[in-house]
Structure 1
Amino acid sequence: MAQGVRWGIVGLGSIAHTFAKDLAMVTGGSLVAVASRSIDKAKEFAKEYGATHTFDSYEALFESNEVDVVYIATPHTSHEDLSIRAMQKGKHVLCEKPMGVNPEQVARMIAAAKENKVFLMEALWSRFNPSIQKTKQLVDNGEIGPIAFIHADFAFYALGRDSENRLLNPDLAGGSLLDVGIYPIFISYLLLGMPKKIQASSHFFKTGVEMQTSMIFDYDDAQAILYSGLNSKSEMKAEISGSDGSIFLHPRWHEAQGYSIEREGEVIDYNLPTHGKGYTYEIEEVQACLASGKQESTMWSHQNSLDLAQLLYEVRQKSGVIFPFEEQKQT
């Protein structure tokens, strides 16, 4: 592949625009194809980002010989179906988070990747953020002693949007948890692993979606206090505290541009600005994995995605968040 990794994007909303801008900053890959149910939208997007091929159906892009890897940027509820269809056509897949709405979906996606011998990764871009990578390294090296406490929140006001908006629509797996609650849960999992016990409580919006959720993750010698919401803003800072000091990921911590370490009353700030918005790092990881023939990333593996899906599902079970399409399956 003289031109490097050939990317296709399906679902051309705002996150796809951000991804395409960052892809243009990464060497070794290029955007060659985009697909939307509206061919006009596809052509407009392709023109803006220099893609050569446009399709008015996702299936047509999956069947194209011009594409090596597909970035799935559609709403949560279509991730499983579209990822599996792409993989069945021999395409590698980077699927926007959450990879699936529940653990069963994620398990089926992983099985499809293995069956078709293709690469699959959840686009959990925060895992590859330099400040978060550095934080994990510092924790693993014992720089602040054993962790006893994590606090992480992610909230913004979204209740003024149209009730059909994906965030407020239960049929699209709306609510704060899968969209932004995934980040606080992720940081706790990344640094402390799977909790022994989960407590969670949610408040619901008039459309039926969960609009704010508080969580406590219990570990043997630590607790994580986590929060997500759509009915107010929050500081969006992450604090990781151990016996010998604390690490603070600066607000908007999931895309942190730096961090601070506090030891014995002294605080030292470190700036680690991202290249582009920060999607560049997950793109580089995908391309590195493809270059070495890997079918999953060691930094964010299939098992990691399964664990994260299980944690999200357990929180939903504790706080009573069931989507309409899940209720139908239970009856």
Structure 2
Amino acid sequence: MKNKDIINWGIIGLGNIAHLFAKELKLVKGAKLVAVASRSKENAVAFATTYQCPKAYDSYEAIMNDNNIDILYIATPHDSHAELTIKALEKNKHVLCEKPIALRYEDAEKMIATAVKHNKFFMEAFWTRFNPSFRAAFAKIKQGEIGTLRYINADFAFYAEEKKGNRMFDLKTGGGSLMDIGVYPLFLAYTLLGIPKNIYAKSIFHSSGVDTQTAMILQYKEAHAVLYSGISHTSNVEATVSGTKGRINLNSMWHMAESYTLIKDDVKTIFEFPTQEMGYLYEIEECHECIRNNAPQSNLWSHKNSLELMKIVEEVKNQIGLQF
């Protein structure tokens, strides 16, 4: 697909995040939304009309059989990520799948094995990895700007209203704080420090069985990461990365920050990286770059990265006794 000017997208699952994604897809040069799919024809037609998309399907099978689509963005609830990704890859589609990649490590392995077997591009949609502010801060940290890393502290919490139909309280679809937002602090620790030696986690649970608050400590040879996620209250949604020579604050909301603060010798320096819209377009551009260069995965968020992070998530899940 090298030098392909236009890359045709399809979207499966038309919830809130799909709306945000479709809005930013229009801003990416060479991207064209050609089809969307929902289990409801009415929803599919309404979504397609909003974003000037020519095709609206009321079945996921139908959109996968559309030969005009190059890549499918899967934005359904977590429990269907593995099944739909595998089917799409087998239908000769590239796939960008919302995080978390799956609810189980073994499912993530099958998804990646299928992508490799069919030689199709596949990536977990960890959009934070492509955020300009995060990339710049990451580069500075890796260059040794704040010395040897010793400590990471990151939280992510918001208040989720307990109402009928709120997937956050639906155990079957992978609800709760860990799989929806706890993966972000874990992603940060993993990206900067790698695989921990030990993991300690405790949770508070809702009557539905989902975790409403999860606290995690990741122990490394010379560092700790203290992480937290919750859906029963709000928090600052900030992250601090501390080293032997200084620290970097990823400003709120850190997973989509437009700035970071470098603190060395009591001097604070703010680096600003304004994003277009929320910043989904950067992961879209990464998909285009990989597809046009016949790359089966991203160097910034690889298959190995997804699997290793999922391994960490699975250990936390097992420790707190979360069962889907």
Q: Where on the TM-score scale, by shorter chain, does this alignment land: which range?
A: over 0.9
Listed one character per residue, the Cα deviations across residues 123-151 of structure 1 (whole Å, up to 9, x for unaligned) are 00001011111111011100000010000
The aligned residue for residue 74 of structure 1 is 76
Q: What SS does the aligned partner of 1:25 have?
A: coil
State how far apart, in whole Å, the 1-side matches of 2:38 and 2:323 are. 29
Distance in 1 separating the partners of 2:182 and 2:244 = 27
Superposed CA deviations along residues 52-77 of structure 1, whole A, max 9, x for unmatched, are 11111011000001100000000000
**Which residue identity lines up with residue 195 of structure 1 in the other structure?**
P
Q: Is 1:252 equivalent to 2:242 in the alignment?
A: no
The answer for the alignment partner of 2:313 in structure 1 is 312
- Provide, for residues 154-203 of structure 1, a one-character-per-residue CA deviation record: whole Å limited to 9, x for no partner: 00011x23254211011111110000000000000000000000010001
Alpha-carbon distance in 2 for matches of 1:254, 1:92: 25
Distance apart, 1:256 and its partner CA = 0.4
Corresponding residue number in structure 2 for 1:231: 232
Unaligned runs of 5+ in 1: 324-331
Contact 1:131 1:256 in 2 (8 A): yes
1:155 is the counterpart of 2:157: yes
Specify the alignment match of 1:37 in structure 2: 39
SS at 2:167's partner residue? coil
* 1:213-270 deviation per Cα after TM superposition (whole angstroms, max 9, x unaligned): 0000000110000000011111100000001101001101000010000001111111
Match of 2:109 in 1: 107
Q: Does 1:198 align with 2:199?
A: yes
Question: 8 Å contact 1:163–1:169 — kept in the other structure?
Answer: no
Provide the C-alpha distance between the structure 2 equivalents of 1:282 and 1:5, rounded to a whole number of angstroms: 14
What is aligned with 2:96?
94
Q: Is the counterpart of residue 47 in structure 1 residue 63 in structure 2?
A: no
SS at match of 1:21: helix
**TM-score normalised per structure 1:** 0.96
Residue of structure 2 in register with 1:186 after alignment? 187
- Aligned-pair Cα RMSD in Å: 1.0
Find the aligned partners of 1:174 and 1:42 in 2 and give their Cα distance: 24
Gaps of 5+ in 2: none
Aligned amino acid, residue 37 of structure 1: R
Query: Secondary structure of 1:226's partner?
Result: strand
Q: Hey, what's the Cα distance between the residues in 1 that align with 2:74 and 2:162?
A: 24
Matches within 5 A, 1:17-32: 17-32=19-34
Letter in 1 for 2:110: R
Question: Matches of 1:41 and 1:157 in 2, distance apart?
Answer: 27
Opposite residue 26 of structure 2, the aligned amino acid is: A
How many corresponding residue pairs? 322
The share of aligned pairs that are identical, in percent, is: 46
* One-letter code aligned to 2:245: D
Residue by residue over 1:17-76, the C-alpha shift from the partner in whole angstroms, topping out at 9 and shown as x without a partner, is 000011111101111110111112111111111111111101100000110000000000
In the alignment, the residues of structure 2 paired with residue 50 and residue 276 of structure 1 have an alpha-carbon distance, to the nearest angstrom, of 19
TM-score (norm 2): 0.98
